[in-house]
Amino acid sequence: MLDYEPLALSAGPYLDLQCDGGPRLMGSECLECGHRLFPVAAVCPNCMSDQLKPLPLSREGKVYSFTVLRQAPPGFDSPSIISYVDLREGVRVFTHLDMLPHQAKCDMVVHLKVVDPKIDKFGRKVLQFKFAPIGGAQ
């Protein structure tokens, strides 16, 4: 039997739940070359430096691209939308969109939304995030 530490709401290093104003994603910024990325990393993929600092990311971004999944893996809703969302910091985040497929559009402004945890096959609570339209989709 596997002995995993429960992930229940501890949120991995990629999500800070204690920020003022609500949860936000955490990335990294390289102190050597300035490269920014998501999620938090120990080594810069651009220059291989290990001198990185945590980078709190914007809660708002723009949809760069998306696709609709009509057959989802077990535990996921179908249809669902996966997307790349560009944040102000120059970081592109791979994420789900919380909207109906016909509502998704490139360049639409979306905001971070932490959703109820799902239970994985080991019985652990896994916190998830998505991006949702600001003010509802049109």
**Residue 55 lies near Zn ion (rule: CB under 5 A):** no
**Residue 49 lies near Zn ion (rule: CB under 5 A):** yes
As a whole number of angstroms, the distance between CA 107 and CA 132 comes to 13
Helical (H) or strand (E) element with 92: strand 92-97
The residue within the footprint of Zn ion, chosen from 15, 26, 40, 44 (CB under 5 A), is: 44
**Residue 50 lies near Zn ion (rule: CB under 5 A):** no
Please list every residue from 3 through 42 that binds Zn ion, using CB under 5 A. 30, 32-33, 35
- Provide the 3-class DSSP secondary structure of residue 83: strand
Residue 39: asked if its preceding bond is cis (omega within 30°), the reply is yes
Please list every residue from 72 through 131 that binds Zn ion, using CB under 5 A. none
Among residues 117, 97, 107, 93, the alpha carbon closest in space to that of 6 is found at 117
The residue within the footprint of Zn ion, chosen from 10, 46, 65, 78 (CB under 5 A), is: 46
Sites of contact with Zn ion (CB under 5 A)? 30, 32-33, 35, 44, 46-47, 49
